[in-house]
Amino acid sequence: MAVPPVILVFDISALSVSSPSEWQEFSRVGSCYIPQVVYEEMKLMFDRSPDPDLERIAKAFNRFYASSGWQITDANAHHPTLKVGSGQALTRRSRVSLAVGRCAFALSQNFSNSLVVLVSKDRALLQRLYEIPVVNLCGITGESLLQWSRTGQRPIAVSQKFQQFRTAYGMPPAAPAYQRTSPTRTTPQTKPTIVRNTVSRPDWLPDVISLLLAVAGLAIAAYLIWFLLNSADLKKYWPQTLAPHQLPFKELQVAVDKK
């Protein structure tokens, strides 16, 4: 198996901050267990809770549990970490908290091939579980479980325990839950470089060529003008009456004598 089955154990703090619809989502992650002490506390709140919100949660859980498939367990096992410190008062809350921790520890011993995850809002209890050197036991908050059930992204504590579990049992590493593949990149084939033998030319050569072309153009224009002025076909269209200053000298002399 790539990953072990998951067993979820709930305490009152985790149930009291979630809704029936969220309880149903928790079932997607694994099998859900309610310690006997938690079930009794929920019944007590259902019957005579002074807090209206807790009473509402207790009534909703009583209706939900009937068809949820969740199980009640009285499993109990002692561990040095899950005991009351010397000089510490054993309040009702701390007694229930330790009982829930011992229940989760007992399930981890009874189901050695499963990962037991205690869901609690009690940070002190979660820290106690973290100090127990068992590869198939850990604790998370209700918020982390809700994100896990909705997105499939395991909390860090769970991922670490999965890794320890696989290492302890000699299992191969699990493939990542989401594997992104990038498109295959092909190296573009480069065209062979063609080397051409070129002869260098002086920088002034283009200027000289441009100057020669300009001179040639002027020469051609001058020739065309001269040709037009001396063309026999065009002379007949010139005016025949000339002004006195344009007349030849003899004709001008005759005109003066007549006057």
Q: Which residues contact 34 (CB under 8 A, 6 or more apart)?
A: 9, 10, 42, 65, 70, 71, 72, 73
Q: Is the predicted pLDDT of residue 12 greater than 50, yes or no?
A: yes
Q: How many residues are present in the chain?
A: 259
Average pLDDT in the 83-103 region? 82
Q: Which of 122, 86, 87, 85 is nearest to 101 (CA)?
A: 122
The pLDDT value given to residue 62: 87
Buried b / exposed e over 87-98, threshold 16 CB at 10 Å, is eeeeeeeeebbb
Q: Is the predicted pLDDT of residue 226 greater than 60, yes or no?
A: yes
Instruction: Report all structural domains of the chain as residue ranges with CATH numbers, in order of start.
Output: 6-168 (3.40.50.1010), 211-258 (no CATH)
Residue 226 or residue 106, greater confidence: 106
Using only C-alpha atoms, the chain has a radius of gyration, in whole angstroms, of 52
Confidence band, pLDDT 50/70/90 cuts, at residue 76: very high
Q: Is the predicted pLDDT of residue 193 greater than 90, yes or no?
A: no
Residue 213 or residue 49, greater confidence: 213
The pLDDT mean for the chain works out to: 78
Q: Which of 155, 149, 147, 104 is nearest to 125 (CA)?
A: 104
- How far apart are the C-alpha atoms of 17 and 60, rounded to whole Å? 12
Least-confidence region, from 102-106, 132-136, 231-235:
231-235
